[in-house]
Amino acid sequence: MENDEDRGLSFGELLRRLTALARPHWKRALLVAVLIFCTLGLELARPPVIGWAFDIIKRGITSETAREESARGVAFVSMLLLLIATVRAVMMFATGVSQARLTHTILWTLRRKLYDAMQRLSFSFFDNAESGQLISRATSDVQRVAGFFNQALFASLEAITILVGITIYMFWMSPLMAVVALAPLPLALFMVVRTATRVRGLFKEARDAYGSVTNSIQENIAGVQVVRAFAKEDYEIERFERVAGGYVAKIIRSIDYWALRIPVAMFMYGVSGPLVLFVGGYLVMRGPEDGGIELGVLVAFVIYVRQMTFRIRMVGGIVNATARASAGADRIYEILDKDPDVAEKRKAVRLPEGGGGEVVFDNVSFGYGRDEPALNDINLHVEPGQMVALVGHTGSGKTTLVNLIARFYDVREGAVRVDGVDVRDLQLADLRRNVAQIFQETFLFSATIAENIAYACPDASMEDIEAVARAAQAHEFIQELDEGYDTMVGERGVGLSGGQRQRIAIARAVISNPRILIMDDATASVDSQTERQIQESLLELSRGRTTFVIAHRISTVRRADLIVVLERGRIVEIGTHDELLERDGVYRQIYDVQLAEAVDDMEEIS
């Protein structure tokens, strides 16, 4: 079992990584540091000035001849304290503004880096990732890390400056009193740091639990129709309460642990106040002539002890914020540090000019992670411009096969070549611009229809958008909408039928004029009339480009130039529709089943 003390990034590692984010903004960071030092310098100057005022007052009390001079002295000190307070207030305002700007700049930089990393991670990462956990990392975890700058980094700079400054002042004014005031400090600091070491692991557990809460909410929103359809609202509420309850329990556990120990540490240092007053009072009564101290020194020490007590409490907050940030940063850098499984080579090349979309699978084997291979010894040569249909039972490897063309995954053995070049040697952006894929579940963005169609080619003209929409049999129904191509599409295409979404997806796929077009079971969830419309658009758009069609319906694949039958990750048959029917193999079995189902349907209708 992992030790709690090993969870999360250490303070040093966290500091190193987060300050690296601030390095490009070093001028603003330097300004913040200078403002903090100036503000704290004014704060350190106040106790001696106040002590000076008490010494002046004491002289005025003990000597009637010095009373008028003491009054002028007190007035001068009061004006000096007012000036210090005014300048300090201005400096604090400037510090707060500069600090907030720097923090939000760093927050934006970190969130952009995280989003960029998510965009570049391979499909294999998202196969096992929960969307709620990823959302939690990109939002609340980043916010926690941002809190590190306000509540930990800048606060620690302030605390260290004050503690060091007070220590120097104390030893300069009275070494004996300094020893008395600082004696409980090491034990109190040790207690605080020790507590934070344990709390960091507890906060990491809480952050993971919060990600589960976010994931539960996201999943429930996405599956709201299923919940309503099966009347499982109460069940989902109970399930959410269990997940949320686990998160709350972990948070309370962290808070309880912190709340129990930090007051103990504060009590340890709180002893210094009575000690300073007791020893200092005795030294004041002895007087400077007999080895004692002035009253003003005692007053300064009392104020310094109070300032130091406040900073000890601040150290607790710093360590607390660091523990929270460390837990969040650990989850963030888990993504930032992850290398994509599919990476572009340093000297990657572009596809050769004039290629027609030739695709070759050369002894290809592939598996997801350590699982059993999903594809074994695949050898397939597809000529430019051919339409290839992939047929097979569920789980036979059809989708896996086409995903290797665009290099969503890398092969374990063998090679996939497009126009004679191994896809691992190609620039990813260039390869994927030339391999357009239409998925079974069509995803449309919350944007206009025109923007969705032009997603792969943002500079496309309206004429180009309309041209591909016509070719995809989508122009007519788009024109019938109230705002035509400017109609806003709801989230995930809400407001459009399945066939309409699919035809928009086809138009989006071909607007960049790819060499290879892949349709992954795109007609599985549409009616027969819509299927015919999509087939017509596919025949139109597949001319001049290599096309892969995955389908379960024989009616969709029978026109293909080449039909490839897969079974348990292996190619078991290749040929045309008529050739495969004559062989009486797997394809013939699938055909006979669908034919028998069609006959049964007709008899039932009759």
CATH code for the part of the protein at 9-336 = 1.20.1560.10
State both tokens at 355: 């290629």
Q: What is the pLDDT of residues 387-404, one digit of tens each?
A: 898 988 888 888 889 989
Which secondary structure element, helix H or strand E, spans residue 546, and what is its range?
strand 546-550
Longest C-alpha distance within the chain, in Å?
128
pLDDT band at 416 (very low <50, low <70, confident <90, very high): very high
Name the residue among 501, 528, 521 with its Cα closest to residue 445: 501
Q: Choose the CATH number for 357-434+551-606 among 3.30.200.20, 3.40.50.300, 3.90.1150.10, 3.10.50.40.
A: 3.40.50.300
Q: What is the pLDDT of residues 27-63, one digit of tens each?
A: 888 888 888 888 888 888 888 888 888 878 777 776 6
pTM over 0.95: no
Question: Is the CB of residue 534 less than 8 Å from the CB of residue 488?
Answer: no
Burial class (CB in 10 A: 0-12, 13-18, 19+), 274: exposed
pLDDT band at 2 (very low <50, low <70, confident <90, very high): very low
* pLDDT for 458 beyond 50: yes
d(CA 209, CA 26): 36
pLDDT band at 130 (very low <50, low <70, confident <90, very high): low
Q: What is the domain partition of the chain in residue ranges?
A: 9-336, 357-434+551-606
Q: What is the pLDDT of residues 152-183, one digit of tens each?
A: 777 778 888 888 888 888 888 888 888 888 88
Burial class (CB in 10 A: 0-12, 13-18, 19+), 481: middle
